[in-house]
Amino acid sequence: SLSCIRSKTWSPYDMIMISLSSSRIILHSWTALDLLMNIFYEPFFDTEKLLTAAKIIFAFLNYSSLWFGAWLSVFYCIKVATFTQAFFIWLKQRIARLVPWMLLTSWLCSVTAAIPFAWHVYGVRNNFTAPSSMTNSSAMRTTRKDNLGVLILSNVGIGMPLILSVV
């Protein structure tokens, strides 16, 4: 609200909602821009550097949105639930101070998880086919050349917010 903007102090709920809504608006805008660029400027947009940048930005925005949505779920759970465990009570008392750090950590995790898209993690295939191990030697298969560590790193952007939301 306007009073929140004027006072320059935002409640934890406001910080989470502003982060979530802005990441979603930017993500939707980026997706629309990407679509328009692919339709109207296909030859220009087809360069590998631009395609890689588009993938990284999309991944970052998508991961950020997932993180902020997960934090909103956690925030609501902490505020409305009435558990009597010591950790939960401690967390309930300190959530307001933790929110800025949670959002910053989420942003850094999103950046880290989006970096593997610069290395073409998804869909990287060797340009050769190898004989299948089946009895029919004429059957061919395409081999993947994925680094397991890079795949795990890039999926942390999806997995951790899911775990937060489920827990």
Would residue 118 be called left, alpha or beta, if left means φ above 0 and alpha means ψ between -120 and 50 degrees?
Answer: alpha
Provide the whole-model pTM: 0.70
Q: Are residue 27 and residue 60 in the same domain, yes or no?
A: yes
Q: Look at residue 135 in the predicted model and tell me its pLDDT.
A: 54
Tell me the pLDDT band of 154, cut-offs 50, 70 and 90.
low
Residue 14 lies in a domain: no
87 and 77 both lie in a single domain: no
Q: In terms of domains, do 36 and 77 share one? A: yes
What residues contact residue 106 under an 8 Å CB cut-off, 6+ apart? 64, 67, 68, 71, 161
- Report pLDDT for 105: 92
Please state the rounded mean pLDDT for residues 7-36: 87
Residue 155 lies in a domain: no
Specify if 35 maps to a domain.
yes
The domain tally of the chain equals: 2
**Tokens 């558990």 belong to residue:** 83
77 lies in the same domain as 90: no
Per-residue confidence (pLDDT) for residue 121, from 0 to 100: 47
Spatial separation of the C-alpha atoms in residues 12 and 103, rounded to whole Å: 10
User: What is the reported pLDDT for 125?
Assistant: 40
Instruction: Return the pLDDT at 150.
Output: 65
Question: 40 and 88 in one domain?
Answer: no
Q: How many CB atoms lie within 10 A of CB 151?
A: 12
User: What mean pLDDT is predicted for residues 99-112?
Assistant: 91
**What digits encode the pLDDT tens for the residues 72-97?**
998 888 888 888 888 888 888 888 88
pLDDT band at 120; cut points 50, 70, 90: low
Asked whether residue 94 falls in the same domain as residue 43, the answer is no
Question: What are 96's two structure tokens?
Answer: 């307001």
73/111 same-domain check: no
55 and 93 belong to one structural domain: no
Q: Based on the fold, state whether residues 35 and 75 are members of the same structural domain.
A: yes
Look at residue 51 and tell me if it is in a domain. Answer: yes
Q: Are residues 113 and 74 in the same domain?
A: no
Q: Looking at the domain assignment, is residue 114 inside a domain?
A: yes
CB-based contact 4:14 (threshold 8 Å): yes
Q: What average pLDDT does range 144-157 have in this prediction?
A: 64
Distance separating alpha carbons of residues 26 and 113, to the nearest angstrom: 18
Q: Note whether 69 and 45 are same-domain residues.
A: yes
Of 28-37, 121-130, 132-141, the range with the lowest mean pLDDT is 121-130
Q: Is 125 helix (H, G, I), strand (E, B) or coil?
A: strand
The DSSP output letter for 119 is: G
* CA-wise closest residue to 9 among 97, 105, 79: 97
Q: Which domain holds residue 74?
A: 19-81
pLDDT at 9 over 70: yes
- Residue bearing the bigger pLDDT, 1 or 114: 114
Instruction: Choose the most confident range, by mean pLDDT, from 29-38, 46-55, 67-76.
Output: 67-76
The pair of three-digit structure tokens given for residue 142, joined into one six-digit string? 């395409």
Answer yes or no: do 51 and 90 share one domain: no
Q: Are 23 and 59 in contact (CB under 8 A)?
A: no
